[in-house]
């Protein structure tokens, strides 16, 4: 890997970490440069449009990691209910153990920028939509019809994102575990409705 690619990746990784922990607006470009150990010229060479362009790359990079991690957890279990519960339990355990939920959510930057940057809002929207689609595909593979699966995938993604925020505020995985506990009921109702409508 060339040093140019290394520098670019280092900037993205550093920005991603700082945006995740401090927020987009509380993180300055100088802080990113100092933390990454890169000269100012390198930042503007790789990201001529500045902070927003760097944030866009950081969001996309984080999104790919989040999707990859979720797919890995869901693919480790054939049963879709067990797979979804396992993905929720994984995050709840990290929170209970006071560990950072690195590469698990882009909620902070999404909430901070949705009114001020259409480019960042769209990038976040695409990631959230992709997460819903990943859950939907798992449900389709289990026999739930496509239309119901995509609606339900969005519901699951929204519940988990909200559950993560609530769990972090409470410093407890309990809100996420309540979602995990209710997931079989939600999927069972949907499965029954799907069978009745066919």
Largest CA distance in the chain: 63
pTM for this structure?
0.85
User: What are the angstrom distances between the C-alpha of 108 and each of 78, 165, 177?
Assistant: 32, 9, 21
49-53 contact pairs (CB < 8 A, 24+): 52/117, 52/119, 52/120
Q: Does any domain span residue 28? A: no
Count of structural domains, the chain: 1
pLDDT tens, position by position, 114-159: 999 999 999 999 999 999 999 999 999 888 999 999 999 999 999 9
78, part of any domain: yes
121 falls within a domain:
yes
The predicted-structure confidence for 48-81, as pLDDT tens digits, reads as follows 999 999 999 999 999 999 999 999 999 999 999 9
Range of lowest pLDDT (37-46, 61-70, 90-99, 100-109): 100-109
Q: Does residue 36 fall inside a structural domain? A: no
Indicate which CATH number applies to the domain containing 95. Answer: 1.10.357.10
Q: Is residue 69 part of a domain?
A: yes
Token look-up 């049963």 returns 79
Domain boundaries, position 190? 60-197
% of residues, the chain, pLDDT over 70: 90
Q: What is the pLDDT of residue 190?
A: 52
Burial class (CB in 10 A: 0-12, 13-18, 19+), 171: exposed
Nearest to 148 by CA among 183, 195, 86: 195
CA-CA distance, 174 to 172, in Å (whole number)?
5
Q: What pLDDT is recorded for position 4?
A: 60
């Amino acid at each position: 890997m060339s040093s140019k690619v290394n520098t670019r990746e280092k900037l993205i990784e550093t920005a991603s970490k700082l945006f995740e922990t401090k927020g987009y607006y509380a993180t300055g470009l100088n802080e990113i440069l100092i933390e990454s150990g890169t000269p100012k010229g390198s930042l503007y060479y790789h990201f001529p449009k500045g902070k927003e362009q760097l944030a866009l790359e950081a969001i996309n990079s984080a999104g790919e990691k989040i999707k990859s991690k979720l797919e890995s957890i869901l693919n480790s279990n054939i049963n879709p209910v067990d797979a979804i519960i396992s993905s929720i339990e994984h995050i709840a355990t990290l929170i209970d153990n006071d560990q950072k939920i690195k590469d698990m959510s882009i909620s902070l930057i999404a909430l901070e920028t949705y009114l001020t940057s259409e480019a960042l809002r769209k990038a976040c929207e695409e990631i959230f939509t992709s997460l819903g689609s990943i859950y939907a595909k798992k449900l389709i593979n289990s026999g739930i019809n496509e239309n119901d699966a995509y609606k339900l995938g969005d519901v699951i993604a929204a519940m988990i994102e909200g559950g993560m925020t609530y769990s972090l505020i409470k410093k407890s995985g309990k809100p996420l575990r309540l979602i995990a506990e209710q997931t079989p009921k939600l999927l069972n109702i949907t499965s029954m409705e799907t069978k009745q409508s066919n």
